[in-house]
Amino acid sequence: ERLRGEFRAIAWVRHPRIAEAYDFACLEGSGAPYYTREYIAGEPLEPGPPHNGAPGEYLKPILDLLEALEVIHRHGLLHLDVHEGNLIVAEDTKRGSVLIDFDLVRFLGRNIAPRIWPSDASAPPELLAGDEPSQRTDVYLAGRLLLHRLTGRRDGRPALPREIPGWGPKLTLDLERILEKAMASSPGDRFKSAADFRAALERAAGNQSRRAAQAAPRDVLVGRSEALERIDGALHDAKLGAPSVLWISGPGGLGKTRLLSEARIRAQLLGLETVEVHLGEEPAALLTALYAKSRMKRRGYEWIDALDPRFGGTPRERAQRAAQVCLEPGGQPLVLVCDDADRADPESQIVLQALARAASEKRAAAGVQGARGPSRGVLLIAAATSPPAWARACGEIVPLARLGRQHALELFTLLLSPRQPNRKLASVVLGLARGSPLRLRQLALALREGGSDLHAPPDPEELARWIRTDPALPGAAGALLAPFEESVLETLAIAGRSTRLEEIAHAMAADPRPVKHALQRLVKLERVLKLGSARVPTYRLTCESDAPAKAPQTASSRARIVHERIARYLEREARGRHTPDVRTLELRARHLLRAGHTGATAAAVQAARIAQEAGAYERAVLLLEEALRCETSRRKRFELVLLACEVIDELGDHERSLALLEPFQEDGGAGLTPADQVRLRRRLGVGYHRLGRPHQALEAFREAQAIADPVRDAEDLLFIDSELAEVHIFLGSLGTAEGACRRGLERLGTGRFSGAVRGRFEVMLRASLGHIELRKLSLERARVELEAALKLSRRHGTLGDRAAILHNLAVAENQLNELSEARRRFLEVERRLCRAGERRNTIKVATNLALIAAKLGSREEAFGHLERAEELLQRHPGDRLECFARYSRGIVCNLFGEVEEAARSLDGAITLAERLEDRSLAAFAGLALSEALLASGRYAQAERRLTSLVKRGLQNGLPILKRMALARACLLECLVGRSRRLGRLQAALQEEPRTDVVYLEAWNDLFAGAAEQWSGSSPVAGQLASAHDAFAKLHVPAGLRLVRLAHSEQGPERHGTPADHAFLRVAEPLAAAERSFAQGDMEAAGHLAAQASGAIVGMPFLELDLRLELLRAQVAFRRGDLQEARRHLHRATHTKELLLTQAPPGARMSLAAH
């Protein structure tokens, strides 16, 4: 099967210079593979030398060969069997020379044995050496064939005679140089590609550079050469991996659909994967077409999985991440051909826009027009009467104009061929068609039927009278239609969609047979389009203006009759089915709504419910929105909106929900009951919260609480409490969030609720309480609440609920330093999320696993988890997830001393957290950023961060946050030499009670203890010893080594294992060097200083850099090398000046003295 797929790749190559491959099979018995190809009538390439032929004509077979190789290489294939027997000079001169027979050995994956070549001297050197072949291997073989064509030899040196007779010495020398380059022993010295080889040969032979031949499909278009050239260029770019977007625009009847059909054919002839869809025909038409294609051919369509609502996010977010995955490099080029893009349903519009924007951005990133970029070759060709406003920024507009008189005459003549219209007839027809290709075809087709003598056109004056009898249809041969056919057109216009024969017949109360005959003639006259399958075809008007004009009163009554009849037919059809058909019920409801039937709204609600159960959410929402437009009762309109919002929640399109709800709020909820007023505001609050607008959500919830009745609206109030808890957790108002949870639990205890409601809300409230305690770092209390919620969720919660609770439990265990248990639980969460199809939430799992690995000092594992999280984030983007991913990368980089990368990531995390109003996460990211700034000597920036964080710790009421800020501020003051401030901060830190977060307190002890140690102040309660004990218990290797480093009198281990920590790789040998210098061991000091100097390259550790250069100057001075000492002192002075510029203004004097 693998070989079959590889030969199918060969079969996709469609080019005049390449023999078409038909099929692949294996011989019975031996199992030897083979494939069939087209037969090329002609002769193999004749050998040289030339006999006075023109160089360009004589070398044309080689140029054709190189053109073929260029095409093959674009398909990712190698020929590897180029010789004179496989290049056939075709009898058809237009075909040129044709390359046949691909090499099977390459596809079988075996080494190419020298025995397959006529002699060792003729084989490419890399194949004789057993190396992997490449495009340049085919270049070598083409060069060998050129040598054969010029000399008659198959091997030997690429040498030509002094002059080929009649060609001159200059051309002969140029050809010899080309041969030498093509047949160079080293592949790197050859032409980079067959295209480069061909260009060089063309220049030498004096041939005008020619465009590669393309397989030309049947030409059915006139006057559209410019549009076709742009389509061909875009298809060529897609084949090369460059995405692009084309919008075909223009009024109806100018040939947009026919041009798209031609684009589809050309794409298929080029071997491009093609999807064609008529938008506006069905709800979610684009998604339906893509899913249908993926069922037939999974490979290349995996990206549409990201559109599934189960993966979370709004439809726009899902479409954006699907588009990003679709355009990732490596996939087969894809062409999406979308007709009637301006009539697309909302979901299809969102996907279309996301794909167009992503393709446009990828193309811009690739730089050069048409150049290969880091992308998949995706071409989106869409037709619309008027492209959407965003189309111009996301692609190229190809406007279709009316045909000029010359092109219109050419098309009309071709359509009438073999007849030749007289000038008077042509003049009348062209005037009536007004440059519309559709009208020209309709008139020409009508003319072919119009006269009794098919070999002569009708009289022009008679034709003019026929057309003028229907002034409402300029250019349409209306008078050529029978009244029954006019009635069929009218019925199709009223139906307003693609309609089946039986529906049309019932709407007309006619026998299906004459209706079928009428439709066949209308299709032939191109007044009606035939769509769907051959078994169940559907019909619609080719152009909306083809509908016969009627008086308004007649049209209204006739429309009601048509809609009612179609609805009755669909009702009988639905009753005849064992299971309800979603589409049939939906169409019945739509026709009842358009007929103004009294039971239309109830029918729409029933059909929408069934569609929702079947997962056809977009179909359900569109039907409810149509019912909403038809309904006049205020109360019923609100019920429809609530049902639509319920369905829209499944899609995650909260903006769409708000657009339906806000009009009721804007007019004060007129016509709604008090209970409805509460439900309206509750729904608004949920929508605002889901869209990340927490303050609007709080306002809506407060309004709902103010007007709610405690008994009547008990369930709504319970729901509001659970939502309020989530909003306040999001905002960091943990006390308020806890109050909302307690209030909700109290309502559950006193209210009368069903068992299902009670269990569901208790799970939600207990889980929220556990989350609150976790955010407060009350870890044991968090574990108790979360375990209670987990137990309840087994009966009343969803799979997603249980995964979220388990995730928070794992976070708590991580903070409690139960790392193995936390890791096990995170992996369980990941399995559950994958089983539920919620891969989006596995991003947080991956980042937490990275943090655990970083704590344990496993750098490779930590960064592996981060890369996996970031890859998932590309597929499932979102500000909150991106914020947490950046924060995690910053923490991991800090733990491995990579402070520059840490600072960049943490700065981005802070920006996102502040935008999301997550004050707690912004504070912790700020603390980590201050550590990176301290390590790199940017003391002023660190001071600003820490001063703000001390105040924020007081505001948030998180003792650990204030203790962390104070500990790092102590280290800062020690480093800049401000002893008084250091004393005050140490006192403030002692006053703050310790928390039970052992891991974070260990780092506090390290920073505060280092400040005490280095400042010479009296140690307090052995902080460094406490940090050492904690890190040893927690198995944090970086923490242990930093503690040893802080004990300056002990010094680091001289022969310890090199740290997987950028800061320690510099600081440890530097501290050891300083200790050796103090002991008078200049040799060891110099060696260790050199080791530190090698490790600091590219690192921003200004303080360490200053100490290092000063130490190296001292060592050089002790050795008597004054010039070397002076050089290091100059460097030290420069670093000190740079360090002073990074210090707080008020600390520069003390830092300089220090």
Residue 159 sits in the same domain as residue 256 = no
Q: E strands, 490-560, where?
A: 499-500, 528-532, 537-541
Please provide residue 380's backbone torsions phi and psi, each rounded to the nearest 5 degrees.
Answer: -110, 115
Query: Is 10 a member of any domain?
Result: yes
How many Cβ atoms sit within 10 Å of the Cβ of residue 606? 15
Per the model's pLDDT, the better-predicted residue between 302 and 254 turns out to be 254
Whether 546 has a pLDDT exceeding 50, the answer reads yes
Q: Give the sign of the dihedral formed by CA 446, CA 452, CA 457, CA 462.
A: negative
> What three-state secondary structure class fits 18?
strand
What pLDDT, on a 0 to 100 scale, did the predictor assign at position 3?
52
Q: Are β-strands 334-339 and 378-384 bridged in parallel, bridged antiparallel, or unpaired?
A: parallel
For residue 476, is it within any domain?
A: yes
CA distance 197 to 213: 17
| Residue 701 pLDDT grade (very low, low, confident, very high; cuts 50, 70, 90) | very high
When pLDDT is cut at 50, 70 and 90, the band that residue 1146 belongs to is low
- 942 against 732, higher pLDDT: 942
In the structure, what pLDDT confidence band is assigned to residue 73 with cuts at 50, 70 and 90? confident
DSSP-derived pairing of the beta strands 97-99 and 87-90: antiparallel
278 DSSP β-pair partners: 339
3-class state of residue 711 by DSSP: coil
Residue with tokens 């997962």: 615
Q: pLDDT class for 113, splitting at 50, 70, 90?
A: very low
Query: Does 90 share its domain with 160?
Result: yes
- Smallest CA-to-CA distance from 1085 within 1116, 1131, 1052 is with 1116
Q: Assess if residue 1090 is contained within a domain.
A: yes
CB 164 within 8 A of CB 50: yes
Task: Please compute the mean of the pLDDT values over residues 179-184 and round it to a whole number.
Answer: 92
Question: How does DSSP assign 384-408, residue by residue?
Answer: ESS--TTTGGGSEEEEPPPPPHHHH
> 807 φ, ψ to 5°?
-60, -45
Angle, helices 285-296 vs 346-366, to 10°: value is 70
One-letter-per-residue 3-state SS of 772-830: HHHHCCCHHHHHHHHHHHHHHHHHHCCHHHHHHHHHHHHHHHHHCCCHHHHHHHHHHHH
Written as six digits, the tokens of 1030 are 């904690």
**Residue 604 tokens, joined:** 């729409």
Read off the pLDDT of each residue in 224-252 and give the average, rounded to a whole number.
Answer: 89
Distance between CA atoms of residues 909 and 515, nearest Å: 66
- How many other β-carbons are positioned within 10 Å of the β-carbon of residue 913? 25
Same domain, 462 and 507: no
Of 812-816, 924-928, 1018-1022, give the lowest mean pLDDT range: 1018-1022
Token pair recorded at residue 307: 């559109």
Measured between alpha carbons, how far is 635 from 641 in angstroms, rounded to an integer?
10
Q: pLDDT tens across 45-58, in order?
A: 988 888 777 888 89
- Does position 173 have pLDDT exceeding 90, yes or no? no
Domain identity same for 560 and 545: no
Q: For 23, phi and psi rounded to 5 degrees?
A: -155, 165
Answer yes or no: do 98 and 161 share one domain: yes
What was the pLDDT predicted at 31?
Answer: 57
| Distance in angstroms (rounded) separating the CA atoms of residues 921 and 913 | 6
Q: Does residue 376 sit in the same domain as residue 412? A: no
pLDDT at 131 over 50: yes
* Residue 697: half-sphere exposure toward Cβ, Cα within 13 Å: 22
Domain shared by 544 and 568, yes or no: no
Q: Percent of the chain, pLDDT > 70?
A: 85
Give the tens place of pLDDT for each residue, 147-170: 998 988 877 788 888 888 888 888
pLDDT in tens, 392-414: 888 889 999 999 988 888 888 87
Cα(163)–Cα(175) distance, rounded to whole angstroms? 10
- For residue 470, what pLDDT band results from cuts at 50, 70 and 90? very low
Q: Are 150 and 164 in contact (CB under 8 A)?
A: yes
**pLDDT (tens digit, 9 = 90+) per residue, 312-368?**
677 888 888 888 888 888 778 899 999 988 888 888 899 999 999 988 888 887 764
The pLDDT of residue 808:
92
Gap between the Cα atoms of 541 and 531, Å rounded: 11
Tell me the sheet residues that pair with 245: 380
pLDDT band, very low/low/confident/very high, at 212 (cuts 50, 70, 90): very low
Q: What is the pLDDT of residue 809?
A: 92
Between residues 812 and 262, which one has the greater pLDDT? Answer: 812
> Would you call 90 helix, strand, or coil by DSSP?
strand
Rounded to the nearest integer, the mean pLDDT of the chain is: 82
Quick check: 775 and 808 in contact, CB under 8 A? Answer: no
Pick the closest to residue 899 from 869, 934, 850, 862 (CA basis).
Answer: 934
Do 259 and 158 reside in the same domain of the chain?
Answer: no
Confidence of residue 1139 (pLDDT cuts 50, 70, 90): confident
Q: Same domain for 473 and 615?
A: no
The per-type count for the chain, helices as H runs and strands as E runs, is 50, 13
Domain extent, residue 432, equals: 405-480
Residue 235: closest CA among 195, 266, 198, 278 = 266
Q: Is residue 330 part of a domain?
A: yes
Handedness of CA 168, 169, 174, 176 (dihedral sign): positive
- Domain count within the chain: 6
Sorting pLDDT into bands at 50, 70 and 90, what band is 204?
Answer: confident
Are 1062 and 897 within 8 A, CB to CB? yes
In a domain, 426, yes or no: yes
Q: Contact 1069/1054 with Cβ under 8 angstroms? A: no
Rounded Cα distance between 955 and 949, Å, is 10
Residues 281, 282, 286, 290, CA torsion sign: negative
The tokens describing 1111, both together, are 């130490």
Question: pLDDT at residue 551 above 50?
Answer: no
Q: With cut-offs at 50, 70 and 90, classify the pLDDT of residue 475.
A: very low
Confidence of residue 14 (pLDDT cuts 50, 70, 90): low
Tokens describing residue 760: 């569901």
Using one digit for the tens of pLDDT, what is the confidence trace for 719-761? Answer: 999 999 999 988 878 889 999 999 999 999 888 888 888 998 9
Query: Domain boundary at 174, 205, 236, which?
Result: 205
Q: Are residues 567 and 454 in the same domain?
A: no
For tokens 């609502």, the residue is 309
Q: Of 500, 515, 549, at which residue does a domain stop? A: 549
In a domain, 701, yes or no: no
Pick the residue with more confidence: 114 or 572?
572
Is residue 1138 a contact partner of residue 1102, using CB atoms and an 8 Å limit? yes
The CATH number linked to 193 is 1.10.510.10
> Side-chain half-sphere of 3: how many Cα atoms within 13 Å?
17
CATH number at residue 530: 1.10.10.10
Domain identity same for 574 and 545: no
Instruction: With respect to residue 201, please indicate whether it lies within any of the assigned structural domains.
Output: yes
Confidence of residue 311 (pLDDT cuts 50, 70, 90): low
Q: Is residue 980 part of a domain?
A: no
894 Cβ contact list (under 8 Å, min separation 6): 902, 906, 928, 931, 932
The H-or-E segment that residue 349 falls in is helix 346-366
Domain boundary (377, 399, 421) is at 399
DSSP letter for 1019, please.
P
Residue 684 has pLDDT above 90, yes or no: yes
Q: Please report, to the nearest 10 degrees, the dihedral formed by the alpha carbons of residues 1033, 1039, 1041, 1047 taken in order.
A: -100
Q: What is the pLDDT of residue 687?
A: 92
Helices (H), 390-509: 405-416, 423-433, 437-450, 460-468, 483-495, 501-508
Tokens 């399995």, residue located? 831
The average pLDDT across 986-1008 equals: 89
- Per-residue burial over 1012-1042, b if 16 or more Cβ lie within 10 Å, else e, is bbebeeeeeeebbebbbebbeebebbbbbbb
Residue 207 has pLDDT above 70, yes or no: no
Q: CA torsion sign, 443 to 449 to 455 to 457?
A: negative
Q: For 244-248, 379-383, 550-554, 933-937, which range has the lowest pLDDT when averaged over its residues?
A: 550-554
In 3D, which of 23, 123, 109, 20 has the Cα closest to residue 72?
20
- Rounded distance, CA 418 to CA 413, Å? 8
pLDDT of residue 28 exceeding 80: no
One domain, residues 394 and 421: no
Which CATH number does the domain housing residue 390 bear? 3.40.50
pLDDT score at 961: 86
Nearest Cα residue to 798 out of 760, 753, 757, 840? 760
